[in-house]
Chains A and B, each alone.
Chain A
Amino acid sequence: MSIIIDTEECTGCGACVDNCPFGGMEIKDNVACITGECTLCGACVDVCPVEVITIEKEEFKIPKMDLSKFKGVMVIGEQFRNEIQSVVYQLLGKGRDLADKLGVDVSVVLLGSELDDKLKELGEYGADEVIYVKSPILKDYYSDLYVNTLTEIIQERKPEIVLIGATPTGRDFAPRLSKRLYAGCTADCTGLDIEEDSGNLLQTRPTFGGNIMATIRTPTSRPQMSTVRPGIFEPIENIKKKPKITIIEKKLDEEDSVTKILKIIDKEKIAINLEEAEVIVSGGRGVGNKENFKIIEDLAEALGGEVGGSRVTVELEWIEQDRQVGQTGKTVSPKLYIACGISGAIQHLVGMETSDIIVAINKDPNAPIFDVAHYGIVDDLHKVVPALTEEIKKRKSKN
Chain B
Amino acid sequence: MKIFVCIKQVPGVSEVKIDPETNTLVREGIPSIINPMDKNGIELALELKEKYGAETIGISMGPPQAEEALREALAMGLDETYLLTDRAFAGADTLATSHTLSLAIKKLLENYGERDNYLVICGTQAIDGDTAQVGPEVAEELGIPQITYVQKFEIRDDKVIVERAFRGEEVVIIETKLPVLVSVLRDLNEPRYPTLDGIVDSYEKEVKYLNHEDIEAVKKNIGLVGSQTEVWRIFVPKRKGEHIILEGSIEERVSELCQKLKEDKLI
Q: Contact residues of A with B, CB < 8 Å?
A: 1-2, 18-21, 23, 35-43, 57, 59-60, 80, 141, 143-144, 147, 167-169, 171-176, 178-180, 182-188, 202, 206-221, 258-267, 269-270, 279, 303, 322, 327, 335-336, 346-347, 349-350, 353, 356-359, 365, 370-379, 383-384, 387-388, 391-392, 395-396
Contacts and interface: CB of A to CB of B under 8 A. Distances in A.
Given A179-B136, A211-B16, A371-B243, A202 B232 contact: yes
B63 A349 contact: no
Given A1-B223, A262-B161, A376 B246 contact: yes
A214 B257 contact: no
Given A36-B63, A211-B25, A213-B236, A168 B167 contact: yes
A187 B250 CA distance: 45
25 contacts: A35-B63, A40-B90, A57-B225, A60-B224, A172-B149, A179-B136, A182-B95, A185-B133, A185-B229, A187-B94, A188-B131, A188-B132, A206-B237, A208-B13, A209-B13, A218-B228, A258-B145, A260-B176, A261-B173, A262-B173, A264-B173, A373-B241, A377-B257, A379-B253, A395-B258
Contacts of B258: 388, 391-392, 395
B139 A176 contact: yes
Given A259-B175, A261-B174, A303 B267 contact: yes
A43 B224 contact: no
B225 A59 contact: yes
B239 A178 contact: no
Contacts of A267: 168-171
Contacts of A217: 229-230, 232
Contact of B234 (A178, A209, A212): A212
Contact of B148 (A171, A178, A322): A171
Classify chain B's interface size: 35 or more
Interface in B95-137: 95, 98, 127-137
Contacts of B241: 358, 370-374
A212 B236 contact: yes
A171 B16 CA distance: 26
Contact of A187 (B133, B223, B243, B254): B133
A59 B219 CA distance: 12
